[in-house]
């Protein structure tokens, strides 16, 4: 092997190695973002499961909050909250749960219809309910949107992000994720 | 020359793996969307009145996906129960299928 051949081989090797290493920098952002994407999916899954489980079993759905603590006027209509009335088979009185979005800290909340409000999922930036057939609701459409927990993975507010973050490069963007699903309450005709 | 040939064959095999992985990911995406669209139609059919539900067979399309559904009386209880089946197709291939039984509630 001549010196010329050695030089050409070295140049080729270095060029290829440099190209491979240049992929490492964007990959670092991807490695940081992927666990957050998984967390967002998990938050969506928990929220969808909680809402679906109660909506499927409900005997009545109301577009306002009921109960002794901060109730809305009966008959009012809000598309960002829902009261789900459940009639358990062995209970004499129905129980209710109200789901709503606490906008101050972007948390999906559940009120047990008596005294307690508890958080269900955090970093929820949109919650909307569609009552199909209202006032005799037969089906409920639910829209949920979650955001990346870390502000460093969110960019300026707009189509991709409901709440602005601090990221200045799109390589580290993890856009909000939104789902829509429908549920037909199975016991809607069973109410007394 | 022999070493280069062996290397080229190895790299070509790896490239084929990438193609297979992309194809599998695409198929999984379509299956997920297909099942979601089937679930959406199933909930819609379940929310219909009993008489309307019994006549609710049909087809529609959502974007590039086609949906076909049927509602048939359950043979054992034809007056009080129906089976609802929803099929979702993409590019003439079935990507989602859900079925359920809905029963009439007696007052």
Q: How confident is the model over A116-144, as pLDDT tens digits?
A: 999 999 999 999 999 998 888 889 999 99
Share above pLDDT 70 across residues of chain A, in percent, rounded to a whole number: 97
Residues of chain B with C-beta less than 8 angstroms from the C-beta of A181: 36, 39-40, 43
Q: Name the pLDDT band for A109 (thresholds 50, 70, 90).
A: very high
Please indicate, yes or no, if residue A188 is contained in any of the structural domains.
Answer: no
Give the DSSP per-residue string, chain A. --HHHHHHHHHHHHHHHHHHHHTHHHHHHHHHHHHHHHHHHHHHHHHHHHHHHHHHH-SEEESS--SSSSPPPTT---SSEEEEEE--TT-SS-EEEEEEEEGGGTEEEEE-SSS-EEEEEESEEEEEEEEETTTS--EEEEEEEE--SSGGG--SSSSS-SS--S--SGGG----EEEEEEE--TTTT---
Name beta bridge partners: B83.
Answer: B72, B101
Please indicate, yes or no, if residue A10 is contained in any of the structural domains.
Answer: yes
Q: Of B37, B33, B34, which is closest to residue B96 (Cα–Cα)?
A: B34
Full domain range(s) for residue A138 = 3-183
Q: What is the pLDDT of residues A72-107, one digit of tens each?
A: 999 899 999 999 998 777 767 788 999 999 999 999
Residue B91 touches chain A, beta carbons under 8 Å: no
Point out the residue among B39, B44, B107 whose CB comes nearest to the CB of A139: B44
Average pLDDT value for chain A: 90
CATH number of B2-103, picked from 3.40.50, 3.30.1300, 1.20.120, 3.30.1450: 3.30.1300
Which of B3, B41, B43 best tests the A interface by mutation, with the highest count of A CBs <10 A?
B43
Please indicate, yes or no, if residue A152 is contained in any of the structural domains.
Answer: yes
| Res. A191: pLDDT tops 60 | no
The DSSP symbol for B107 reads -
| Residue A54: other Cβ atoms inside 10 A | 20
Please indicate, yes or no, if residue A63 is contained in any of the structural domains.
Answer: yes
Q: Name the pLDDT band for A190 (thresholds 50, 70, 90).
A: low
Asked if A112 and A118 count as a contact pair (C-beta separation under 8 A), the reply is yes
Please indicate, yes or no, if residue A36 is contained in any of the structural domains.
Answer: yes
> Are the Cβ atoms of A181 and B40 closer than 8 angstroms?
yes
**pLDDT value of position A21:** 81
Please indicate, yes or no, if residue A191 is contained in any of the structural domains.
Answer: no
Tell me the residue length of chain A: 192
**pLDDT value of position A82:** 96
Q: Name the pLDDT band for A54 (thresholds 50, 70, 90).
A: very high
Q: Which residues contact B42 (CB under 8 A, 6 or more apart)?
A: B84, B86, B98, B100
Name beta bridge partners: B72.
Answer: B83
């Amino acid at each position: 092997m001549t010196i010329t051949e050695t030089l050409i081989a070295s140049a080729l090797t270095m060029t290829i190695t440099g190209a491979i290493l240049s992929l490492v920098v964007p990959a670092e952002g991807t490695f940081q973002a992927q666990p957050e994407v998984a967390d967002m999916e998990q938050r969506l899954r928990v929220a969808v499961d909680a809402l679906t489980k109660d909506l499927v079993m409900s005997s009545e759905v109301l577009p306002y909050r009921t109960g002794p603590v901060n109730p809305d006027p009966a008959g009012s209509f809000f598309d960002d909250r829902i009261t789900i009335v459940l009639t358990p088979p062995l209970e004499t009185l129905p129980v209710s749960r109200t789901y709503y979005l606490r906008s101050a800290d972007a948390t999906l909340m559940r009120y047990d219809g008596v005294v307690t409000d508890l958080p269900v999922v955090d970093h929820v930036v949109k919650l909307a309910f569609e009552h199909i057939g209202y006032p005799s609701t037969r089906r409920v459409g639910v829209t949920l949107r979650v955001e990346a927990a870390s502000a460093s993975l969110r960019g300026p507010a707009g189509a991709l992000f409901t709440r602005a973050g601090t990221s200045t490069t799109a390589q580290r963007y993890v856009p909000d994720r939104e789902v829509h699903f429908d549920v037909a309450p199975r016991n809607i005709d069973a109410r007394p | 020359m022999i070493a280069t040939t062996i290397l080229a064959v190895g790299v070509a095999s790896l490239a084929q793996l990438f193609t297979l992985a992309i194809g599998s990911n695409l198929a999984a995406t379509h299956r997920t969307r297909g099942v979601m669209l089937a679930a959406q139609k199933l909930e819609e059919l379940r929310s219909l009145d009993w008489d309307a539900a019994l006549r609710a067979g049909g087809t529609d399309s959502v974007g590039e996906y086609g949906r076909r559904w049927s509602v048939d009386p359950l043979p054992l209880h034809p007056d009080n129960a129906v089976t609802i089946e929803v099929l979702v197709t993409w590019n003439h291939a079935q990507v989602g299928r859900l079925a359920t039984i809905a029963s009439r509630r007696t007052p």
